[in-house]
A = this chain, B = another copy of it.
Amino acid sequence: MNHYPASIKNVIRHLNKLPGIGLKTAERLAMHLLSAPEPDVFELSRSIGELKKSIRLCSHCFALSDGDLCRICGNPSRDHSLLCVVENQADMVAIENAGAYTGVYHILQGLLSPMDNVGPDDIRIKELIAKIEKGNIAEVIIATGTNVEGEATASYISDCLARFSISITRIASGVPMGGELKYVDQVTLKKAMEARHAV
């Protein structure tokens, strides 16, 4: 590292701060950038520089967006009476990639976690309630994760929404598709047995 000129060392140091990029990888990437075509390197630099400037949160669902409304909230062909509550953008993208959902989202931007001092006021629960108070929502699907924080948040949200005459559902949990029973953990198997259904 000390044997590189300062501008290469700079790139290596900054790449090395990224998650999963060690010193060797950062060196390899910097060497690649040195020999890559000038416009490609410029575009990479520019796109990273622009990232924070042009990104804001959708005023409706709090997804990352480059306009006031994200593509999903701004799409009239989505079902705006069906609302899926997720923890973050990545979970929303995962559901979109599954391709089985045509409603809109509400992104909590976190989960309740008393251990980390995250309470109901620190995530977007107030905004969720306000959205339902306006009417127009027929069903809320709570799609937080199935870990402790996800379950606690789901349970808190369903309590908050109990007073509305809408249907509140939770995504199913059970044995993952393609999974062999012997490799599935006990808690998941117990859940799967409890949630068994007629075929």
Q: How far is the CA of A67 from the CA of B7 in the complex (A)?
A: 11
Tallying the copies of this chain within the complex gives 2
Q: Quick one: closest B residue to A50, CB to CB?
A: B7
Q: Shortest distance in angstroms between A7's beta carbon and chain B's nearest beta carbon?
A: 4
Q: Quick one: closest B residue to A65, CB to CB?
A: B5
Q: Are B17 and A64 touching (Cβ within 8 A)?
A: no
- A49: chain B residues at CB < 8 Å are 41-42, 45-46, 49
Q: How far is the CA of A7 from the CA of B47 in the complex (A)?
A: 7
Q: Are B14 and A18 touching (Cβ within 8 A)?
A: no
Q: How far is the CA of A17 from the CA of B40 in the complex (A)?
A: 9
Q: Which of A27-35, A121-129, A157-165, A190-198 contacts B (4 or more CB under 8 A)?
A: A27-35
Q: Are B45 and A19 touching (Cβ within 8 A)?
A: no
Per-position binary interface string of chain A over residues 6-18, scored 1 when its CB falls under 8 Å from any chain B CB and 0 otherwise: 1110110111011
Identify which of B32, B34, B96 contacts A18 (C-beta below 8 A): B32
A–B complex contacts, Cβ < 8 Å, 13 sampled:
A3-B93, A5-B67, A7-B51, A7-B54, A10-B43, A14-B43, A18-B29, A19-B28, A20-B29, A30-B51, A33-B51, A34-B64, A41-B51
> Given contacts A3-B71, A15-B44, A38-B52, could you give 17 more A-B pairs where the C-beta distance is less than 8 Å?
A5-B65, A6-B66, A7-B54, A7-B55, A8-B55, A13-B47, A18-B29, A18-B33, A20-B25, A30-B51, A34-B52, A34-B55, A41-B48, A41-B49, A42-B52, A45-B46, A49-B49
